Amino acid sequence: MTNLPVHVANSIRERRLLPRGGRILVAVSGGLDSVVLLHLLQGLAAERNWQLTVAHLNHQLRGRSSAADERFVRRLAGKFGFPVVVERADVRTFARKGRLSLEMAARKIRHEFLARAAAQAKARQIVLAHQADDQVELFFLRLFRGSGGEGLAGMSWRSPSPANPKLQLIRPLLNVPRAALREFALARGITWREDASNASPDILRNRIRHELLPLLMRRYQPSLARTIPRVMEIVGGESSHVREAAQRWLRRRRRGSFARLTPAVQRAALRLQLQKQGLAPDFDLIETLRREPDQRVSVEPACAVSRTAGGQVQRHVVQRADFQPGVQDVELRAPRGLLGFGGLQLAWRLVRRAGGHRSAAQPRVEWFDADAVGSPIRLRHWRPGDRFQPIGMPGPVRLQDLLTNARIPREGRRRLVVAEAADGRIFWVQGLRIGEPFKLTPGTRRRLQWRWRPAAKLETPPRSADEPLRRA
């Protein structure tokens, strides 16, 4: 890119991104992209009569490096004579308390900070340094997460702030590759701060940047930097059409008409309603609402949503349910038995049969390796910190995460019954798959048949062709 300042000035003018004579807030992290952006805007400020204010959020995630970033941005703003707004945030604590990923917590805190800084600077536009490579990386990030058309469309040149829709986020570098920014900075002797975490392979975006994209461009498509933005533009245009159709339907919603909408418009209508209520519209949630009217789905602590037959998303307050007390130890010595616990009737049967072949599947019936389970077992309810290894998974995971993914409402989770084997590991969770370490295998010698039923009385397991064990 031979003349970067002219290119960026043309983008701003042609797309009418920033008005003349306006107050503008510039988000500056101290990295290459935002530092070059500030230099470019500073070069245009006098001609365009802009009043620029620098905003920097210290995320306090990298110790001394974060503090050094803050000092660097303060000096840079002072060099240009721009006012600077700086805040510090404990992102890790916020993420832990809100049960968010560091990335999501940082994004939320950052946008809220920028909205406050814009109010302080009396600015209506917040300029961000997202560039062309960010768009391509974002495309693959969202592709891997299963995003729909709006997500795959990527970032817009102009969009409302998620913290305050009256503020506009402006991205004047979206058609500028990172290499052009680096070339400009080196040619002008511009210094910037390197974030060491940008090279960490533990971060998916970094693996996309340093591993996946070079491989794709080297082996499959050298013009990826042009083709992916083209795809994003096409997908974005089509998703905008669907969104507009959903908005028209929401404005003049008629009885029974939701069922006649195409699935794409149904999804968009649900997504818009969830976003209006400040809820994350992930695909699984939208599909559950779309397919199952009047089904409550837990989305946040003390909050669930459902969809009426007419397509309206309703929010429900969920009363906090305490963890259920009660423990029952059970000896599996007898060949069969019957008991009640936690609103369930449970029956077991011990069978002497070798091998890993399973009987035909039956509702509410599971088979375990009896020797792996052992005796005695313990029945109890779910507790915080429980870990469980479902069949087919390589290791144990948090039971809470499995229940969340299974869309089991929070108010019902604490009543779920779990069964611990003799060694203390969970081998069964009501409504989930059996435990991997306790499945039938070719080395199985004895089997445990496990049957359960809510509330209603369960008859003692009948004899079958399998020979039951005799009590020793």
CA distance 367 to 450: 6
Residue type, 317: V
* pLDDT tens-place string over residues 432-469: 878 998 999 888 889 999 888 875 544 444 444 343 44
φ, ψ of residue 359 to 5 degrees: the values are: -70, 165
Residue 300 pLDDT? 62
CA distance 248 to 20: 35
Residue 423 pLDDT? 82
Q: Do 169 and 107 meet the contact criterion of CB atoms below 8 Å apart?
A: no
Distances (CA, A) of 35 to 193, 199, 341, 346: 9, 19, 63, 66
Count the alpha carbons within 13 Å of 98 in the hemisphere toward its beta carbon: 15
Burial of 263 (0-12, 13-18, 19+ CB in 10 A): exposed
Residue 465 pLDDT? 37
CA distance 70 to 213: 31
CA distance 419 to 282: 32
Q: Are strands 168-170 and 158-160 parallel, antiparallel or unpaired?
A: antiparallel
Q: Do 88 and 58 meet the contact criterion of CB atoms below 8 Å apart?
A: yes
Residue 256 pLDDT? 62
CA distance 229 to 208: 16
Residue 325 pLDDT? 60
Helix, strand, or coil here: 417?
A: strand
Helix, strand, or coil here: 242?
A: helix
For 251: left if phi > 0, alpha if psi spans -120 to 50, otherwise beta; the answer is: alpha
* pLDDT tens-place string over residues 284-295: 788 888 888 887
Q: Do 438 and 368 meet the contact criterion of CB atoms below 8 Å apart?
A: yes
Q: Do 379 and 288 meet the contact criterion of CB atoms below 8 Å apart?
A: no
Strand ordering across the sheet containing 313-317: 297-300, 303-307, 313-317
Element of type H or E holding 14? helix 4-14
For residue 334, which of 395, 376, 388 has the smallest C-alpha distance? 376
Site of tokens 């230099």: 39
Residue 458 pLDDT? 44
Residue 466 pLDDT? 42
Q: Which pTM was predicted?
A: 0.61
Residues of the chain where predicted confidence (pLDDT) is lower than 50: 320-323, 457-472
CA distance 165 to 275: 12
